[in-house]
Amino acid sequence: MIYLDNSATTYPKPQSVRRRMAEALERFGANPGRGGFRMSMETAQAVYAVRRKAAALFGAPGPECVSFQPSCTQALNIVIHSLQPGDHVLVTDLEHNAVLRPLKAMEAHGVSFTVVPVTPCDNDATLDAFRRAIRENTRMFICTQASNVWGIRVPVERLAALAHVYGAEICVDAAQSGGVVPIRAAEDNIDYLCCAGHKGLYGPMGTGLLITGRGEKLKSLIQGGTGTLALQLEQPRDMPEYLESGTQNVPGILALGAGIDFVRARGEDNLRQAEMRHVRRIHAAFSRMPHVKLYTPPPDMRYFVPVLGFNVRGMASEAVGDYLAKHGIAVRCGFHCAPFAHRKMGTDSDVCGGAVRVSPSAFTDDRQVDGLIRAVSALQKAPAVRGQK
C-alpha cells in the first residue's frame, strides 16, 4: 500500500516506537505514582522522562508544563472550556472542528467568536485582518499553525505578539505542525500549545499534549485520582497532575517518547524538507494535468507544511479516493472536519464533496510518489472526466 494519509495519523510507525510500546507492557506494567514498589517507581520515572523530552522539543519552561492528554482534541477542549462568559475569541478560517465545535458549544455559556480570514503567503495581510477583528473583550486567539486540508501555515508567532499587545492569550493547534515545524513555546510566547502525538511525532493513537506554563488558569475537564493529596476532595491544582486524573496511557506515552527521539534524531528541518520535496513534485506534476484542480500555489516552506489538497474535475473527491484505494493508494477525501477551510476554496459544494488530500511522511519515497502521479494521470481517461472537456 502507498500510504499518503499521514495528516490523519502517520503510518508506519518507526520500529523504535513499536518496540518501546511492547517494552512498556513488559517492563512498566505498574501504575505510575500509585505505589512505592520498584515497578511503579520505575514507570513513574519513565513517564517523567518523556515529559522532559517533550518540554525540550517544544521549548517549554519545564517538564511540569507538559500535560499528557488522549488527543489534541481533548487538549483544545480543556483550553476552550476554560473561557469565561463574555469572552470573545478570534479564530482563523482554516480551523478544524476540534476548535470550532467546542467554541460553538461555549456560545451557550456567553462566549463569542469571530472567524478571521488567512491570506496565504501574505502574513502581513493575515496580521492586519486579526488586528481589525480585535474587540475590547477579545481574550484569546485560537489558531491552527497549519491547515489540515491545504497545508497553509499561519504566522502564529506574530499573532502571539499581537495578542499580547492587546492583553489576550493565544492557543495554538499544532496537530499538523508538531514534529514538522520547529516550535519554541516559551520563546514564541505561545500560552497554550496543543499537539497530537500520533501524527508528526510518530507516536501511537490515543496520545496528545497540552503544553502551558499557565495551567492554573485552566479548568480541568476531568477530576479524580492523581496519586497526590488523596484525602482532599478538591482537585489538586499542581501541574501536571491537575489535568491528568486517572490512570495514564503508559504504553502510549512511552512509545510517544520514542517517537520524539525519532524526530529529534532525524531533525524537524530535514523531515520537513524531504516531505516538501515530495509535495512539490506532486504539485508540479498535477499542475501539468488539465483534469486536476489545485487550490494553492507551489508550496514554499515559509508558507506551507507538506500537505496538498486537490480535486479531479468532474469527479467527487470520494470517487477519486475510491479509485486510488483500488490502486493501493491511501489518501483522505471529503471535508476533513474543517468546514471553513473548504468554504474558503469553494470545495464545500456537493459537486466537489470536499477535496482529496495527500500528505507524505518520513517513510514516503519517490517510487510511491510516482505511483500516485501515474494513477491520477490515468484518471484523465475516465468517462466522468472526459465529459468535462
Mean pLDDT per block of 10 residues along the chain (389 residues) reads 98 98 94 86 96 98 96 98 98 98 98 98 98 98 98 98 98 97 96 98 98 93 76 81 89 98 96 97 98 97 97 96 98 97 93 94 98 96 60
Are 279 and 328 in the same domain? Answer: yes
What is the number of domains present in the chain?
2
Cα(265)–Cα(389) distance, integer angstroms: 49
Predicted local confidence at residue 302, as pLDDT: 95
How many of the other CB atoms lie within 10 Å of CB of 145? 27
266, 290, 317 — which closes off a domain?
Answer: 266
- The DSSP bridge partners found for residue 193 are 172, 211
Are 200 and 213 in the same domain? Answer: yes
Buried b (16+ CB within 10 A) or exposed e, 307-334: bbbbbbbbbbbebbbebbeeeebbbbbb
Provide the 3-class DSSP secondary structure of residue 197.
Answer: coil
Residues 6+ apart with CB under 8 A from 56: none
Q: Is 283 exposed, middle or buried (0-12, 13-18, 19+ CB in 10 A)?
A: buried
**What's the pTM?**
0.95
Predicted local confidence at residue 234, as pLDDT: 81
205, 233, 266 — which closes off a domain?
Answer: 266
Predicted local confidence at residue 181, as pLDDT: 96
Are 273 and 310 in the same domain? Answer: yes
Q: What is the CA radius of gyration of the chain?
A: 22
Are 208 and 323 in the same domain? Answer: no
Query: Cis peptide leading into 240, omega within 30 of 0?
Result: yes
For the chain, the residue count is 389
Cα(283)–Cα(308) distance, integer angstroms: 8
CB 306 within 8 A of CB 280: no
Phi, psi of 296, deg, nearest 5: -130, 155
CATH of the domain at 336: 3.90.1150.10
Are 262 and 279 in the same domain? Answer: no
Are 360 and 220 in the same domain? Answer: no
Predicted local confidence at residue 383, as pLDDT: 66
Phi, psi of 194, deg, nearest 5: -115, 130
Range of the domain at 100: 15-266
Question: Which amino acid is it at 74?
Answer: Q
Are 253 and 289 in the same domain? Answer: no
CATH of the domain at 150: 3.40.640.10
